Structure 1
């Protein structure tokens, strides 16, 4: 019996020996195969090992800077920081005292102390403080660091900064980070020239140990070079723009209008030197009430400013005699009666005095009896009141020439009924100031590659029409001057 048990033991041992020998053989064969081919499951092991010990580092690119015509910075990327807190209980670097940390840090971030304390006591490894903790300036970062609060850390980033605040805001627009942490233009020049301004980060790789630390003497290899955004130079003149903004602030404070629109242009070139609207906004805060630039997107009845172009048409056609007299006060157009702004007029006066007094009756006679309605309509087209200017800003609108009924044809002559945009008026006015040559308005002077200095986009002055002669333009300017200088002038 004992001999039989002994034989079974030897047989079992032999079977185990065979199994382990076979397993060892398979393992050895697999080892030889991997060593010989360098692959496992079709994957190159050397490449996998290299990937595990290779780290990448981002080389930050810079979004293009926006300048005024003289090189003053209007928009640029600046360093910013995001403040966070380590709250992992197993991390020795964690926040030691959430209550004390909240009491000291919350006031600097503009947060409620209790709100911050709730964040600091969350079950997480690391927490942030939402918009309160983003875009922290270097100065604020130093103030926070001076508190020596355990567990408070910072990550570096860039933020779009507009140094002048409420300054040509609807022209410049704004840009902000998207979900991919890319800065994207959302309004104004930032949006319309985003394809030029946008940057693209670069990357380098380097060998590291298992914990991700760079190995001594390991060389960096460039994967992609950073591509900085192009710089944009506007036609805006910061000094003129500042003067305009201050003047508009004064008007807004004194009269509290619903809208103010102002444009300063060089009539010889079409360059926009200043453009502003109210209400406006600070692109750093993006407290926006109106996303449209009213200077180019708001059609309105131009009122008496339209009389400039009616006068120009009459002079250009040779039908204007400034010394001729007419009866002011009222003028019948079918069943309708047009009246001067004081209702009763000034008796019988000359057309020159009618211009000085901004008489609606004078301009009604010029359209109906002197020019003729059809010929006046041709001049509205020649001054391009029927089309967009094509200014290099987004969302340009167009006015509407109302010319269906007899009364509309006459009221258009003094700026009622028909609508135009401010930029349409500016373009038309360049013909008066520029001896008959009408210039296309523009705000982009040039776009320059910051690395090579090459100009990638350049704008030159463009004549878009000659609705009147140089002699007509000079005569119109002479008469308009008397609107300010004469004793009857409404421009006094």
Structure 2
């Protein structure tokens, strides 16, 4: 009886000690309770959508799916060979690599890396229809480019960082990143092991902030025409590279821009990151002639009805030739020379009528020696070689 009383008093003393100090074995019970019952979650925000000028989606956030396989437990993969074969058939992936993942030892659950990542809703539904035991999916937020290989170097590409937030890597996704970026929200509450609230439904919420949307000057229809023309040219000529730009001549707005070879940003396998349309310097060709003509008219030295001898124009020991092999069209007016895009006509305008000093000032006034400051990263610097007479003359017609 006395022993029982002593034990009771010891337990009672221990109880009051715990109640007074809130600790057991130097551990704070309040903190332990908070750790056990605190529930936290992430409220995902969406990165801003990129639209063309008419509101057609060019890049947006959407659900993607990651493939998961249970190798142990009640619902596990039963026939690994058959499962690998059927999944490979849907995804168009290497069956042996999928099987190697399913054959991993000492794993209760496996993922398939890039083979089973960024799946579309259609792919998910096709695999689900196969009713393969042990196969499930994790829903993720992904950056999606609905048109695939379409103005890829203009739109660019965004991918998740370590926190899972999409960050622009290049193109407009990069240059507009501070506007497109989103901030995830948070939710926190106290709950039991099943997630049921323990404090009357009190929930702390930090709302997510979606990124701003961006509307481009790109016109999806015109871009489609350009992409088709580029593909046809690539097939016919098999060039190393192609560049195509469509601009509004009155405003300078870029309506379409493309360069080949290109890539599908949904595939994530990007090897070349430069938009050749803006990254590299190249000769303007006959587009330069309109600037030479404008300068000559503005200076009052262009006389359209004056005659000149077309065909060739001698500069030192070099001959400038018209584009028909130097045959020319005989003695013709400058107006006809402009109409025929005669190299010789523009060589004379630049060399004799304007002179190199005045012509160089116009090149600067037109901004041809400066960057355009287009809203795309990676614009290269212009190079104008204008030291020798032959360089000055060829500049007049764009070579």
Q: Fold-level match, TM-score > 0.5?
A: yes
Instruction: Give the 3-state SS of the residue equivalent to 2:35 in structure 1.
Output: helix
Q: Distance in 2 between matches of 1:186 and 1:361?
A: 46
Aligned CA distance change for structure 1 residues 98 and 286 (closer, same or farther; 3 Å): closer
Residue in structure 1 matched with residue 258 of structure 2 by the alignment: 276
Aligned CA distance change for structure 1 residues 379 and 21 (closer, same or farther; 3 Å): farther
Aligned CA distance change for structure 1 residues 280 and 104 (closer, same or farther; 3 Å): closer
Aligned CA distance change for structure 1 residues 405 and 282 (closer, same or farther; 3 Å): same
Following TM superposition, by how much is the alpha carbon of 1:87 offset from its aligned partner in structure 2, in angstroms?
Answer: 1.6
Q: Distance in 2 between matches of 1:288 and 1:308?
A: 38
Aligned CA distance change for structure 1 residues 392 and 114 (closer, same or farther; 3 Å): closer
Aligned ranges for residues 62-461 of structure 1 at < 5 Å? 62-88=46-72, 91-122=73-104, 123-210=106-193, 212-214=194-196, 219=201, 221-286=203-268, 288=270, 290-341=272-323, 342-416=325-399
Q: Distance in 2 between matches of 1:168 and 1:114?
A: 35
* Unmatched segments (≥5 aa) in structure 2: none
Following TM superposition, by how much is the alpha carbon of 1:411 offset from its aligned partner in structure 2, in angstroms?
Answer: 1.4
Aligned ranges for residues 7-18 of structure 1 at < 5 Å? none
Instruction: Give the 3-state SS of the residue equivalent to 1:262 in structure 2.
Output: strand
Preserved contact between residue 197 and residue 231 of structure 1 (Cα < 8 Å): yes
Residue deviations 1:135-159, cap 9 Å, x none?
A: 1222222222233322222111122
Instruction: Give the 3-state SS of the residue equivalent to 1:378 in structure 2.
Output: helix
Residue deviations 1:415-445, cap 9 Å, x none?
A: 12xxxxxxxxxxxxxxxxxxxxxxxxxxxxx
Q: Distance in 2 between matches of 1:255 and 1:55?
A: 62
Which of the pair has more CA radius of gyration? Answer: 1
Preserved contact between residue 243 and residue 258 of structure 2 (Cα < 8 Å): yes
Is 1:36 the counterpart of 2:7? The answer is no
* Unmatched segments (≥5 aa) in structure 1: 1-19, 417-492
Residue deviations 1:265-300, cap 9 Å, x none?
A: 223333222222222222212454642112222211
* TM-score, normalisation: structure 2: 0.90
Residue in structure 1 matched with residue 35 of structure 2 by the alignment: 51
Following TM superposition, by how much is the alpha carbon of 1:21 offset from its aligned partner in structure 2, in angstroms?
Answer: 11
Q: Distance in 2 between matches of 1:281 and 1:116?
A: 25
Pairwise CA RMSD:
2.8
Preserved contact between residue 75 and residue 162 of structure 1 (Cα < 8 Å): yes
Aligned CA distance change for structure 1 residues 29 and 160 (closer, same or farther; 3 Å): same
The alignment covers a number of residue pairs equal to 396
Q: Distance in 2 between matches of 1:101 and 1:336?
A: 72
Following TM superposition, by how much is the alpha carbon of 1:309 offset from its aligned partner in structure 2, in angstroms?
Answer: 0.8
Aligned CA distance change for structure 1 residues 43 and 383 (closer, same or farther; 3 Å): farther
Moved more, 63-72 or 237-246: 237-246
Aligned CA distance change for structure 1 residues 121 and 251 (closer, same or farther; 3 Å): closer
Moved more, 331-340 or 192-201: 331-340
Q: Distance in 2 between matches of 1:141 and 1:243?
A: 32
Following TM superposition, by how much is the alpha carbon of 1:223 offset from its aligned partner in structure 2, in angstroms?
Answer: 4.1
Q: Distance in 2 between matches of 1:217 and 1:36?
A: 23
Aligned CA distance change for structure 1 residues 98 and 336 (closer, same or farther; 3 Å): closer
